Structure 1
Amino acid sequence: MTAPNIPSAQHAPSGVPEQPHHAAPPNVPTKEWFDTKGLDYETSYGHNAGLLKAVDKFAARLRPGCRVLDLGCGTGRPVAHTLAARGFQVHGVDFSETMIGLSRAAVPNGVFECAHLLDWTPAQGQRFGGIVATSSFYELSREQMETLVSRWRDWLEPGGLALLMMVAAEDVPSTKTEMYDSDGRFARGIPFRFMGEDCFLYLFTRAGWRALLEERGGLVVREQWVEAFVPPREADCDGETNSFFIAERAKAMEGGLA
């Protein structure tokens, strides 16, 4: 389905709240839900060939041995485990205690913290050579996503890279025109089957994901592509078209300062 062509002037830009409200959109998987899934999630999603290829591409562009932040690290496989095996220092964050425990087991030399993504901040002065977010925003509202990504430029080193993998609203067959915000960049309440549960997704379009990185994150998108993913039948999940973005923080900020 193609996102509707609605002039952006019809939609006032979403403000970034100083104190983000942490309530998730209705009928999305919750922290408690992920706490019960654990290795079932890894079995269903840990062997996504498109994601593995994207991590390979991302790793090849990173500064060797740099620190990489994995936001919504899940079980640690495949992303954190792959990056750690290639010599990167992995720092993962997830709101599920179960997922954090599995990540620590999968990547013993990594650092993993259990926190809501909107609550977490790096240690003072800490920056990362890379940031990864793969299928990790689905419990957030549009405004919360904008708030989170707006922080990435400060968290990345000059020349640092971000890898984003998400589903685009127009690539879910159940997305209807009336679900889109007036700017055509975001759709709400999209029915989706996920690990045996009927839930709803809140998704940007491909143009919206790109704008999120560039306009909110202050990053430059260097590569963008899509890959299909079909979970195993026993997972009882809808198939996905994953949109991938690799974006870079400019090496010089305004005024020539790093």
Structure 2
Amino acid sequence: MAYPEIPGAQHAAPPNVPTKEFFDTKGLDYETTYGHNAGLLKAIDKLTALLRPGCRVLDLGCGTGRPVAHTLAARGFRVHGVDFSETMVELSRSAAPSGVFEQAHYLEWAPFPPIAAEESQDPKQQKFGGIVVSSSFYELSREQMETLVSRWRDWLEPGGFVLLVMVGAEDVPATKPDMYDADGRFARGIPFRFMGDDCFLYLFTRAGWRALLEEKGGLSVREQWTEAFVPPSEADCDGEVNSFLIAESAK
């Protein structure tokens, strides 16, 4: 299946955005800081209660594999993870040995063309029962995010579920009115302290994340909620208000 090119997919990341090299050096430090997020663990519980038992789940931007891939694999789901950091992929393989993990940027990655499971023995050619995206996309433009999410229509099986865990632009204290797009759904260049570095985020608002899933992904949002996460002081990170969304594809 030929997909439309994602705008700017080959372009370098904007200035002051954490890069592949940044994450290659942060591996276990990242896991120590973010691998035990109580709100995320509760969200995984909600998701796994909805998923078809044993289905294939895509962990897009899998990081170290904890807690998402590790928890899903332990509960009998077939995990397929993708991350642009070699260090993160290796950690994911250790966290969930039964999973399949690839090093690739999610702007450039796509599964094999989805076909009916009974037509192929290759698990890569089966659709996903679920997709999890947790704390990724922050360096992408609005247009890149919209094009990427639109592809999920082809990747999800009927009645499949997406768990999206992000930060809403309005929930970052440094977000200013002049950072928003004209429709108020997206803000650019938001200052944020992340693991000892000063960087800039590109974020939808809470309503914008919902609209992204519904309008571009063709998904029906079943539940949306927020929960604060405070990293340990030694991590040198700003606190977050995580926005959780669980959405379903058409049956």
TM-score range, shorter chain: over 0.9
Structure of higher RCO (CA pairs closer than 8 Å, 6+ residues apart): 1
Aligned length: 236
Cα distance per residue 1:25-55 (max 9 Å; x no partner)? 3211011110110000000000100000000
Give me the whole-angstrom Cα distance separating, in 2, the residues matched to 1:127 and 1:17.
Answer: 19
Map of 2:53 onto structure 1: 64
What secondary structure, in the 3-state scheme, does the structure 2 residue paired with 1:38 have? helix
What letter corresponds to residue 25 of structure 1 in structure 2?
P
1:1-258 to 2 correspondence within 5 Å?
18-22=5-9, 23=11, 24-125=13-114, 126-251=126-251
Kept in 1, the 8 Å contact 2:6–2:144? The answer is no
TM-score (norm 2): 0.92
Q: Does the CA-based 8 Å contact 2:53-2:77 persist in structure 1? A: yes
How far off its partner does 1:171 sit?
0.2
User: 3-state SS of the aligned residue for 1:108?
Assistant: coil
| SS at structure 2 position matched to 1:136 | coil
Q: Is the CA contact (8 Å cut-off) linking 1:167 and 1:240 kept in structure 2?
A: yes
* Pairwise CA distance, 1:118: 1.2
CA distance in 2, matches of 1:18, 1:56: 35
RMSD: 1.1
| In 2, Cα distance between equivalents of 1:75 and 1:19 | 26
Q: TM-score, normalised by structure 1?
A: 0.90
Between the two proteins, what is the percent identity of the paired residues?
A: 82
Instruction: Tell me if the contact between 1:25 and 1:141 (Cα under 8 Å) persists in the aligned partners.
Output: no
Separation of aligned partners in 2, 1:229 and 1:194: 13
Amino acid at match of 2:245: F
Distance (Å, rounded) in 2 between the aligned partners of 1:124 and 1:186: 31
Aligned twin of 2:123: none
3-state SS of 2:112 partner: coil
**Partner secondary structure for residue 69 of structure 1:** strand
